[in-house]
Amino acid sequence: MPAILFGSISTLADTSELQRQAFNEAFAQHGLDWTWSQEEYRSLLGSNGGAQRVADYAAERGQDVDAAAVHATKSQLFQKLLAEATLSPRPGVRETIEGAKAAGHKVGFVTTTSKANVDALLAALEPDIDASTFDIVVYDDHVDEPKPAPAAYQLALDWLDIEPADAVAIEDNIGGVRAALAAGLRCIAFPNANTAGADFDEATDTADHLDADRVVALAAA
């Protein structure tokens, strides 16, 4: 049975600017004189993992920063922003999920962010999308290695008991695309507001609006 695997929070709703806002508020709370502009934030998105991004940024400046603590604060702030935001699914997401289910496909959410972030996002998207939308949900506690390692996708395939050829991933960043490809999946790049300028040549396809018929057909190809 084919599957469509949404690969990150911003493949469902574009939360990239909320993420950046949460980072900047966390920096202020931790007494850091950092402010990531949209341009600078975009330049930092080549790697996955917010805590590592903070650690690398501090190292470049020769600063001793508790990156894990900063990132934990950022996550709490992000969840608060999600609770306050009015979110809608990105263009074509709802139709793609409906089309997948009508075709008898499985639908998964395969991310290496925290369960708390996943829960906050899905709560913000109710009633359009919620936990019951997905046949499986993978998050950071389920795997030892975050993306771009393929572990999350390999686990998803195992849980669904399908081969890589029977699934297509949807990702909004380069690290996610590489994770999907490393797991043997075809991958549609679906850039968000802050990854739209990235080079997604490795992806099977790139779209700013999901075409439900195209995604469903690609999963079944």
d(CA 205, CA 82): 29
Q: What is the pLDDT of residues 64-83, one digit of tens each?
A: 999 999 999 999 999 999 99
Q: Are 156 and 136 in contact (CB under 8 A)?
A: yes
- Amino acid letter at 126? E
CA 36 vs CA 95, 168, 212: distances in Å? 34, 33, 35
Q: What is the DSSP letter of 89?
A: P
CA 173, 175, 180 angle in degrees (round to 5)?
95
Write the pLDDT tens digit of every residue in 39-68.
999 988 876 678 889 999 999 999 999 999
What was the pLDDT predicted at 197? 85
Give the pLDDT confidence score for residue 70 in this predicted structure: 97
Residue (of 185, 18, 192, 22) closest to 110 by Cα position: 185
What pLDDT does 52 receive?
87
- The answer to whether the CB of 203 falls within 8 A of the CB of 189 is yes
Record the pTM.
0.93
Residue extents of the structural domains in the chain: 3-13+88-220, 16-84
pLDDT of residue 117: 95
Q: Within the chain, which residues score under 70 in pLDDT? A: 47-48
Domain 3-13+88-220 sits in CATH 3.30.160.100: no
Select from 1.10.1040.10, 1.10.150.240, 3.60.15.10, 3.40.50.150 the CATH code of 16-84: 1.10.150.240
User: How high is the pLDDT of residue 41?
Assistant: 92
* Helical (H) or strand (E) element with 186: strand 186-189
Task: Look up residue 4 and give its DSSP letter.
Answer: E
pLDDT reported for residue 158: 97
Which residues touch 221 (CB under 8 Å, ≥6 apart)?
186
